[in-house]
Amino acid sequence: MKRETAFDLVQKNVKNRNLIKHMLAVEAIMKALAERLGQNKEQWGLAGLLHDIDYDKTADSPEQHSMIGANMLAELGLDPAIVYAVRVHNEVHGLPRNSLMDKALFAADPLSGLIVAAALIHPERKLAAIDVPFLVNRFHEKSFARGANREQIATCSELGLSLEQFIELSLRALQAISKELGL
């Protein structure tokens, strides 16, 4: 599936603009991770872009989230590796994260939210105004961005990255698309 087709699919299935921005943010992080790890940027980007494709349908049923989306993507003929990464990014299912893509999507999902939340509390409300030490401090503040699962973010070690390396790579990826994110 081409990226343009995938984005059209997102716009058809997701009505919340902030959720679409989240999906764009995860796409950017996934592409940066793929580049860093010598993986397929287009494939990893699609996993990031499409990972919450079913959220409007499953918002009230977290146990169904990612299963419905993965099934939808499988029916559309997406690469089974993308389908599986989407399926296992929701830890509720207890499925193993086997590939680097699976692990990357699992870690990138909450980090994107933490970075955006940190930009929004900064006086400038811009991604360009924050840096890695600022984000590391927010990471360690348990009351900040409570929905950003720190244990999940810390699984970046399974990708061979320290927390600081993962935050830096992700921040740069989001800064590169700051206009799309409105930050």
Over range 24-44, report the average pLDDT.
98
The pLDDT tens digits for 5-17 are 999 999 999 999 9
Give the model confidence (pLDDT) of 96-147 as tens digits: 999 999 999 999 999 999 999 999 999 999 999 999 999 999 999 999 999 9
d(CA 59, CA 65): 7
**0.85 exceeded by the pTM?**
yes
pLDDT in tens, 45-54: 999 999 999 9
Q: How far apart are CA 111 and CA 168, in angstroms?
A: 11
* Structural tokens at position 89: 């990014």
Domain containing residue 169: CATH number? 1.10.3210
- pLDDT score of 12: 97
How many whole angstroms from its chain centre is CA 172? 14
DSSP 120: H
How many domains does one find in the chain?
Answer: 1
Structure tokens at 139: 């990471």
What is the residue range of 59's domain? 3-181
